[in-house]
Amino acid sequence: MINLGLDILGLARFQFGMTTVFHFFFVPFSIGLAFVVAVMETMYAVKGDKDYKKMAQFWGKMFLYSFAVGVVTGIIQEFQFGMNWSEYSRFMGDIFGAPLAIEALAAFFMESTFIGMWMFTWDRFNKWVHVLFIWLVMFGSSLSALWILAANSFMQNPLGYIINKQTGHVQMTDFGAIVGNPQLWNEFPHVIFGSFVTAAFVIAGCAAWRLLKKDHVTFYRKSLQVALVIGLIFSLGSIASGDTQMRYLLNNQPMKVGAMEGIYKNSTEKGEWTAVAGFDTKAHKTTWSVDIPYVLNLLSYHKLTGTVTGMNQANKELHAKYDKKFGSDINYYVPTKTLFWSFRIMSGASALFALLAIVGLIFNRKKSQAILKQKWFLYIMGLCLWLPFIVNTCGWFITEFGRYPWVVYGLLTIADAVSPNVSVASLLTSNIVYFLMFAGMGVVMVVLCHRTLKAGPDAENTDGYSASDVDIDPYSKGAFNHD
Amino acid sequence: MTNLQLLWFILIGVLFSGFFFLEGFDFGVGMLIKSFARNDAERDVVIRTIGPHWDGNEVWLITAGGAMFASFPMWYATLFSGFYLVLFLILACLIFRGVSFEFRANMETERWKTFWEWAGTIGSGCAAFLFGMLFTAMIKGMPIDKNGDMTAHFTDYVNLFSIVGGVAVTVLCLVHGLNFIRLKTSGELRDRARDWNKILYPVLFAGEVVFAILLFFSTDFFAKKPLSTTLIVVFLVIVTALAYWGVLGNHEWLSFVGSGLSLISVVVLIFNGLFPRVMVANNPAYSLLIKNSSNSPYTLHLMTILTFSILPIVLVYFIWSYWVFYKRLASPKQNA
């Protein structure tokens, strides 16, 4: 076969990354939308204002699209462990399988059952029962995030296990430690808050575009209002939870933090924070940078003193710790540029979100039509609807690239995790097809959302399910008569 | 082999049975979108019969996969990496059919609507066929090495036996889907489903007989477990016959339960024949066994407690959701 310079490991990594990123466009979006829609429907139930019902139904459509894509890409995600990472599955099965199975059992069933109920039973149940359905969907999807992050947290910070001497595989000894992993309780709120922010700013952005056209002003202003309130609360929440997570990582994964801050040498007592910089990753050097004193210490320790471990120091410590087991020629430097810029985009965007929400809420005050006159603001808001997806991807990049070269921190390298028996040709085929399918689904999603938006909240329900319903009880006598 | 290992082997079988019973009919209904339903309005009704349920049904597969990972990771790793291309194609099919229901309803032009209808039809059909093929190939025995890695060639997956297995499962899903449509609709569609099944059942019988003969020659099932294997095959034929009788005599529930039981008995046949193995290797020394493919007792114990506390609740609301949508859908008027 022609050597294209492609190998199993590279292709498997690319495929995993691609699937994760694509899946993670829709997961936070649908968790967040479930929350926002649930809030809207609850407001309808409380206030009896039909506008809120219309809002829940309208934004609920986008939720249904993203849910469908989320489900199908989720199956790829689950099967991929066995298909592309069989050695990982054998090594980690004792720990990783449990949260995955519980996720399916406790969360997916709840989500998919109640989403069907919610979707098809408008006006068939008491409005409070119907509200309960969407909250159960929301609860189910958050629960699934919790379990999958529990598995991920173990990979970042293994706890509650021993290595089985016979097989060399990990073995669970303490389920409590796995669920109580501090990494999990730092990661989970950050991901959930990020999800709420995602949905809030997508809705706010969509509403802003329609307001620019002066379309359904009352409806979109109300939507904007709900979205911005949620957006403000949870962008502040995600900044706060990001901060605690960062401080946790200082001790736990110093290499990751070093790369996020772009420091090779340990920082000095003055705590210079690098705002922007260029890197020579081969020589492990910063080529140029713009530094601001004391900010690093403020960010890291919330005070003016202290030092942060640089990557060179972290590298030395990792070698000292792991050379015996993994050999001395392993490279512990993580992709510095990716982490450095991802971190800046992520934190910068979060601050921008909070700011936009405040400004938006001021413009959108009751009675005044100020928001319609601030076209510049609506444009920015509208453009920012894409930003959360980039931010989520950045967050995932930091988490996952930041533990290089491990798949399970300190226990298993990525190279040792891959399926040895899958051919390059198979992998290449699946990569190409998945890529095309993801691209296709992405395009359809955007087109559908755009069309839904253009059709507006008064459009006829086009979900095709509203086809003639007759009340024939299949258990009644008449139902069995065939004439 | 410990009791817990045995329990989990059975539980995996139960989950796959649930998956085939439920997703079996929505695969069947999916296949019928293009041929059985004759116009847009009819397609709406046909899709609507599974609309609220298909994603919940698919979760049975996700759960079966997750449970396999959580109880027999060696099995999961060998099976999934070994059948890479088949599983990849199944996933592609599941994606296409999964999004097709939602996307079709929202397409404006006829051409795109038709595209997603075909995606749903072909995706459902191929997924059913490939599942049948995968499980048939799996029981025939595969080239597995000492490490448990499988390196199979095209003819290991695709051969007369696996193709017959694939076709048999596809036809089973098809009749199951038609039986479901009969339960969920009224009028024209309900009658047509009956007419179709009158023709399909004889085909299915022929398929089952050929499958049983090939099973005798291609696997060690009859040699190792002559009694139980024969009994299950006989049961399979009997429930199929009962379902056919249900079709002829208008006993809708009987025919639906019958076709569901046929699918379940195929799963039972496979799991019974596998026992005490989970994967059959060409070289018997490398077959994966229940006793050495499972997780630690701690994890199995934990999973058992969790499963038996969560599952009852899940079953209650899962069944309730079918109850909520028990009403029949009317067939659209002709030329409407």
CA–CA separation, A40 and A55 (whole Å): 7
Q: How far apart are CA A144 and CA A138, in angstroms?
A: 10
Q: Does any CB of chain A come closer than 8 Å to the CB of residue B65?
A: yes
Distance CA A30, CA B102 (A): 15
Asked if the Cβ–Cβ distance from A79 to B91 is below 8 Å, we say yes
Quick check: A110 and B317 CB within 8 A? yes
Helices and strands (H, E) in chain A, number of each type: 17, 7
Closest CA to B200 of B36, B23, B7, B17: B36
What's the farthest any 2 CA atoms get from each other in chain B? 64
CB–CB contact A121 B55 (8 Å): no
Residue B4 burial by Cβ neighbours in a 10 Å radius (0-12, 13-18, 19+) = middle
Q: Indicate yes or no: CB of A94 within 8 angstroms of CB of B296.
A: yes
Minimum CA–CA partner of A63 in chain B:
B102
**What's the rounded Cα separation, in Å, for the pair B235 and A152?**
45
Distance from C-alpha of B70 to C-alpha of A96, rounded to nearest angstrom: 7
Give how far A86 is from chain B: nearest CA, Å.
Answer: 5
CB A84 within 8 A of CB B87: no
User: Quick one: pLDDT band at residue B51, thresholds 50, 70, 90?
Assistant: confident
Interface list for A 118-177 with B (CB within 8 A): 119-121, 164, 171-173, 175
| CB–CB contacts below 8 A, A to B | 266
Retrieve residue A380's tokens: 């920015």
Tens digit of each residue's pLDDT (9 = 90 or more) over B81-121: 999 999 999 999 999 998 898 888 888 888 999 999 999 99
Query: Of how many residues is chain B composed?
Result: 336
Best interface-test mutation with A: which of B61, B62, B185 has the largest number of A CBs within 10 A?
Answer: B62
The predicted pLDDT at position B254 comes to 94
Contact between B48 and A421 using a beta-carbon 8 Å cutoff: no
User: How many separate helices (H) and strands (E) can be counted in chain B?
Assistant: 14, 4
* CA B14 – CA B7 distance, rounded (Å): 10
**Which of B71, B78, B85 is facing A97, going by the closest CB pair?**
B71
Q: Which of residues 11-50 of B touch A (CB under 8 A)?
A: 41, 44-45, 47-48
* Alpha carbon separation from A48 to A29, A59, A121, A222, A434 (Å, rounded): 27, 18, 18, 15, 45
Instruction: Report the amino acid identity of residue A378.
Output: L
Residue B335, C-beta contacts closer than 8 angstroms, at least 6 positions apart:
none
Q: Residue A468 has what pLDDT?
A: 38
Nearest by CB: B95 against A98, A103, A437: A437
CB B222 within 8 A of CB B228: no
B44, B83, B88, best to mutate vs chain A, most A CBs in 10 Å: B88
Closest CA to A134 of A189, A203, A53: A53
- Per-residue pLDDT at B175: 96
Burial of A154 per CB tally in 10 Å (0-12, 13-18, 19+): buried
Q: What does the pLDDT read at residue A65?
A: 86
- Contact across the interface for B55 and A433, Cβ inside 8 Å: no
**What residue of B is the nearest CA neighbor of A12?**
B81
Distance from CA of A437 to the nearest CA of B (A): 8
For A173, which residue in chain B has the nearest alpha carbon? Answer: B298
Query: Which one of A109, A175, A422 has the shortest CB-CB distance to B302?
Result: A175
Helix axes B188-218 and B40-50, enclosed angle (nearest 10): 60
Of A96, A98, A120, the CB nearest to B52: A120
| B66:A105 CB<8 A | yes
pLDDT tens by residue, B287-333: 999 999 999 999 999 999 999 999 999 999 999 988 888 878 887 76
Q: What is the pLDDT along chain A (483 residues), one digit of tens a residue?
A: 455 567 889 999 999 999 999 998 989 999 999 999 999 999 999 999 999 999 999 999 999 888 888 878 888 888 999 999 999 999 999 999 899 899 988 898 899 889 988 988 888 888 999 999 999 999 999 999 999 999 999 999 999 999 999 889 999 999 999 999 999 999 999 999 999 999 999 999 999 999 999 989 999 999 999 999 999 999 999 999 999 999 999 988 999 999 999 999 988 888 888 888 999 988 898 998 888 888 888 888 888 888 889 999 999 999 999 998 888 888 899 999 999 999 999 999 999 999 999 999 999 887 677 888 889 999 999 999 999 999 999 999 999 999 888 999 999 999 899 999 898 989 999 999 999 999 999 999 999 899 889 888 887 654 444 433 444 444 444 444 443
Minimal Cα–Cα distance from A37 to chain B, Å? Answer: 19
Q: Give the Cα separation of B319 and B57 in Å (integer).
A: 11
Q: Which amino acid makes up residue A282?
A: K
User: Residue B20 and residue B150: Cα distance in Å, rounded?
Assistant: 25
Residue A441: list chain B partners with CB under 8 A: 95, 99
Which amino acid appears at position A245 of this protein?
Q
CA distance A422 to A324: 30
- CB proximity B293 to A under 8 Å: no
Q: What is the pTM of this model?
A: 0.89
Q: How long a stretch of residues is chain A? A: 483
Rounded to the nearest angstrom, the minimum Cα separation between A79 and chain B is 7
Helix axes A254-261, A311-326, angle to 10 degrees: 150
Do residues A59 and A205 lie in contact, with contact meaning Cβ atoms separated by under 8 Å? no
Which residues have C-beta within 8 Å of that of residue B296, sequence separation ≥ 6?
A94, A164, A171, A172
Residue (of A107, A111, A91, A88) closest to A99 by Cα position: A107
Q: Is the pLDDT of residue B69 over 80?
A: yes
Tokens of B227: 């009694």
Question: CA nearest A148 in B: which residue?
Answer: B66
Sign of CA dihedral B13, B17, B18, B24: positive
Top residue of A15, A75, A437, A462 to mutate, by most chain B CBs within 10 Å, is A75
**Rounded alpha-carbon distances, angstroms, from residue A307 to A254, A270, A396:** 12, 8, 26
CA-based nearest distance B298→chain A, Å: 7
Q: Any chain A CB within 8 A of the CB of B277?
A: no
What is the phi/psi pair of residue B186, to 5°? -140, 165
Strands B277-279 and B288-289 turn out to be: antiparallel
Instruction: Work out the minimum CA distance from B127 to partner chain A, whole angstroms.
Output: 13
Judge residue A252's burial from the number of C-beta atoms within 10 Å of its C-beta, 0-12 exposed, 13-18 middle, 19 or more buried.
Answer: middle
How many other C-beta atoms lie within 10 A of the C-beta of residue B80?
26
Whole-number pLDDT of residue A305: 83
- Percent of chain B, pLDDT > 70? 99
* A82, A97, A106 member nearest B81 (Cβ): A82
B66 touches chain A (CB under 8 A): yes
Pick from A122, A2, A241: which is nearest to B324 by CA? A122
- Whether residues A97 and B44 touch (CB distance < 8 A) is answered with no
Q: Look at A419 and B84 and tell me if their CB atoms are within 8 Å.
A: yes
Return the SS3 of A406: strand
Mark which residues 34-93 of A lie under 8 Å from B by CB: 64-65, 68-69, 71-76, 78-79, 81-84, 86-87, 89-90, 92-93
Chain B's closest residue to A71, CA to CA, is: B55
Alpha carbon distances (Å) from B130 to A348, A423, B93 = 48, 20, 9
Dist CA A172 CA B299 (whole Å): 6
Contacts of B53 in chain A (CB under 8 A): 116
Residues 227-286 of A with CB under 8 A from B: none
**Token reading at A57:** 């139904």
Mind telling me how many Å the CA of A479 is from chain B's nearest CA? Answer: 8
Nearest-angstrom CA–CA distance, A324 and A147? 33
Is any Cβ of chain A less than 8 angstroms from the Cβ of B87? yes
Q: Does B254 touch chain A (CB under 8 A)?
A: no
